[in-house]
Amino acid sequence: MKLIPFITAASAIAIVSLVHAQQVRNEPVKIIEPYVSDTPEKVELGKQLFFDPRLSMSGIISCNTCHNLSYGGTDNLKTSIGHKWQAGPVNSPTVLNSSLQIAQFWDGRASNLEEQAAGPIAADVEMALPHTLAVSVIQSIPGYVDQVQKIYGDDQVTLDHITDAIAEFERTLVTPNAPFDQWLMGDDDAISATALAGYDLFKNAGCIACHYGEALGGKSFMKMGLVAPYESDSPAQGRFDVTGQEMDRFMFKVPTLRNVTLTQPYFHDGAAETLEEATQVMGQLQLGRDFTEQELTQLVAFMETLTGDRLQMMLPILPENGPETPAPSPFE
Ligand code: HEC
Ligand code: HEC
């Protein structure tokens, strides 16, 4: 009893979320735990960088352009549009819960979020800002230099500082407390009977063999078109593009199904417009079965229970340009 007055608001929240995070049902799908960073200043810097279009050559594209955090962490386009309106080759995956995966990108070519974040800044079809220029832009903004100095004890901004801070911010973008998590924690009424039938089917039909873990995906690379080939216009060949090994052709990272109702269109080429369509294709190409209308309704009802709490946040106020901050070049 004596202790109670000493419990701060923050530790009270931590205790509540620990209690809250107990999964009582023993299922192959695990609940998502909230992420508590021990470096909040780094999270704040990463958040500013995530929203800062000065990290692009045009001055108008930020990470948030293609990974809209006010919606599902994607751009909801078939394939992304980047610098000078160029179409990228693949669909933008969500950044929500991306920290729960074994690797980043459809083909897993980045092993973690730090490595990943360097990619889009310099990619021609994305932000098109060479890394040396990106670093000098951030170095030219006194408010960023101050933060880097405080967090890393360095006066000189490096690409590692930028990607390290962005990655720490991204780790906060987990979405706990979905209706399905509430059900996993023992609340029988959290999901409908139809959704529960969908979950049983999801396990019995074999979806769970690939879409498992807390993110229902992100833990393995699997062949797209296991029992019948997948036809696509996209040049992407999955893991093959990374390893050059024939056995890796069309092996893609199994995407997360968390918040999947917010991340349409689906698949690496964005070819499936609806969740029903994506589910039917999965049945046919991965499991060799045609689902009935009723089965599709059940599977979709289950996947609808996977939308969790998205981080409520204030839009960051970005630090002002310094005297040397270069002007953007939208048409270069
Ligand atoms: C022009 C649109 C665009 C911009 C801008 C962009 N991304 Fe992406 N992002 C994509 C696309 C498309 C992919 C998938 C590419 C692939 O797999 O080859 C992706 C992949 C990712 C992934 C991997 C997710 C997963 O599940 O594999 C993360 C994380 C990510 N981006 C974060 C960022 C960050 C951080 C920034 C800013 C520094 C950023 N993105 C800027 C379009 C964009
Ligand atoms: C053999 C492994 C495997 C099985 C079984 C499987 N999936 Fe998938 N699933 C994948 C892979 C790999 C992808 C990505 C394919 C691509 O984009 O080319 C995917 C993609 C998806 C997507 C699209 C997600 C997105 O964000 O683009 C949905 C939805 C989906 N699966 C649902 C299901 C359902 C429902 C079942 C069961 C009926 C199922 N999957 C069975 C491996 C599997």
Question: Residue 159 in contact with residue 134, Cβ under 8 Å?
Answer: yes
The fraction of the chain above a pLDDT of 90, given in percent, is 89
- 195: domain CATH number is 1.10.760.10
Q: Is the model's pLDDT at 324 over the cut of 70?
A: yes
Instruction: Tally DSSP H helices, then E strands, for the chain.
Output: 12, 2
Q: How confident is the model at residue 97 (pLDDT cuts 50, 70, 90)?
A: very high
Q: How confident is the model at residue 15 (pLDDT cuts 50, 70, 90)?
A: very low
pLDDT at 20: 52
d(CA 269, ligand 2 centre) in Å: 13
Nearest CA to ligand 2 atom 8: 282
Please write the tens of the pLDDT for every residue from 234-291: 999 999 999 999 999 999 999 999 999 999 999 999 999 999 999 999 999 999 999 9
Question: Residue 46 in contact with residue 169, Cβ under 8 Å?
Answer: yes
pLDDT at 125: 87
Nearest CA to ligand 2 atom 37: 207
Residues 216 and 274 in one domain: yes
Q: Within a domain: residue 199?
A: yes
pLDDT at 282: 98
Residues 163 and 183 in one domain: no
Say how many domains are in the chain. Answer: 2
pLDDT at 332: 85
Measured CA distances, 261 to 92, 264, 301 (Å)? 15, 7, 10
d(CA 228, ligand 2 centre) in Å: 14
d(CA 120, ligand 1 centre) in Å: 6
Please write the tens of the pLDDT for every residue from 114-164: 999 999 988 888 898 999 999 999 999 999 999 999 999 999 999 999 999
Residues 46 and 134 in one domain: yes
Size (the chain), residues: 332
Residues 152 and 187 in one domain: no
pTM of the model: 0.94
Taking residues 45-51, report their average pLDDT: 98
CA distance 184 to 181: 5
CA distance 246 to 68: 35
CA distance 266 to 142: 41
Nearest to 328 by CA among 115, 32, 56, 49: 56
Residues 243 and 158 in one domain: no
Residues 159 and 89 in one domain: yes
Please write the tens of the pLDDT for every residue from 51-87: 999 999 999 999 999 999 999 999 999 999 999 899 9
Full residue range of the structural domain in which residue 257 is found: 179-304
Q: Within a domain: residue 8?
A: no
Q: Candidates 66, 76, 112, 221: which one to mutate for ligand 1, based on the most atoms within 8 Å of Cβ?
A: 66
pLDDT at 13: 46
Nearest CA to ligand 2 atom 6: 207
Q: Is the CB of 117 inside a 6 Å radius of any atom of ligand 1?
A: yes
Of the candidates 139, 171, 203, which is a domain's last residue? 171
Q: Is the CB of 254 inside a 6 Å radius of any atom of ligand 2?
A: yes
Question: Residue 99 in contact with residue 171, Cβ under 8 Å?
Answer: yes
Q: Angle between the 159-171 and 131-139 helix axes, to the nearest 10 degrees?
A: 80
Please write the tens of the pLDDT for every residue from 180-236: 999 999 999 999 999 999 999 999 999 999 999 999 999 999 999 999 999 999 999
Q: Within a domain: residue 136?
A: yes
Q: Within a domain: residue 2?
A: no
Q: Within a domain: residue 30?
A: no
* Residues involved in catalysis: 126
